[in-house]
């Protein structure tokens, strides 16, 4: 079924909006996936905050034009599945990587973060990026480390004094 011009413009506008708000993008080849597998992938994408779209390459090129994902144009060949991370930079990469483990038909072609084109082999690196909550926890642990070490050091001084006094007491009791 051919798309009318208005439908094509709506698709381009929708994908352009998603690309403008996205933190990262993954382009993959979905050839060989069944309808039920694609439905399952879409459900997982919604749950993890990933915008997923099967789109024609010409429409995808127009949609990413003027965004930082214009570098993905070379990878837009054959059946294309676009995944944009909306909340967490590694979400789309994690989703596609995990789903590709279960279904070998899903093949990653390229990914991009911040306008930089990355090879398909870099998906492991991007998938290991911490989530927002994990990044905040790491930051807080790093910020609290000097303070907690300082308090441990301050608590060590009276502890050492008590141990010295106890050692002197033990020494006097043993001598006397």
CA 169 – CA 156 distance, rounded (Å): 20
Q: Which two tokens stand for residue 122?
A: 């870099």
Q: What is the pLDDT of residues 11-27, one digit of tens each?
A: 888 888 888 888 888 99
pTM above 0.75?
no
The residues of the chain scoring below 70 in pLDDT are 1
Which is nearest to 77 in space by CA: 60, 64, 96, 65? 60
pLDDT number for residue 1: 61
Question: Strand, helix or coil at 96?
Answer: helix
Contact 53, 18 (CB under 8 A): yes
Give the long-range contacts of residues 139-148, CB within 8 A, separation 24 or more.
Answer: none
């Amino acid at each position: 079924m051919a798309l009318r011009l208005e439908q094509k413009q709506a698709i381009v506008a929708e994908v352009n909006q998603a690309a403008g708000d996205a933190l990262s993008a993954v382009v993959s080849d979905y050839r060989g996936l069944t309808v039920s597998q694609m439905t399952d992938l879409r459900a997982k994408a919604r749950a993890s905050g990933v915008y997923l779209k099967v789109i024609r390459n010409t429409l995808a090129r127009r949609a990413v034009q003027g965004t930082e994902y214009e570098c993905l144009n070379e990878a837009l060949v054959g059946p294309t599945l676009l995944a944009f991370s909306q909340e967490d930079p590694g979400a789309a990469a994690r989703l596609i990587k995990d789903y590709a483990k279960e279904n070998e038909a899903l093949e990653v072609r390229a990914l991009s973060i911040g306008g930089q084109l990355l090879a398909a082999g870099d998906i492991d690196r991007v998938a290991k990026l911490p989530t927002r909550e994990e990044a905040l926890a790491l930051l807080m642990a790093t910020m609290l480390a000097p303070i907690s070490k300082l308090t441990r050091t301050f608590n060590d001084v009276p502890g050492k004094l008590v141990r010295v006094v106890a050692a002197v007491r033990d020494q006097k009791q043993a001598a006397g």
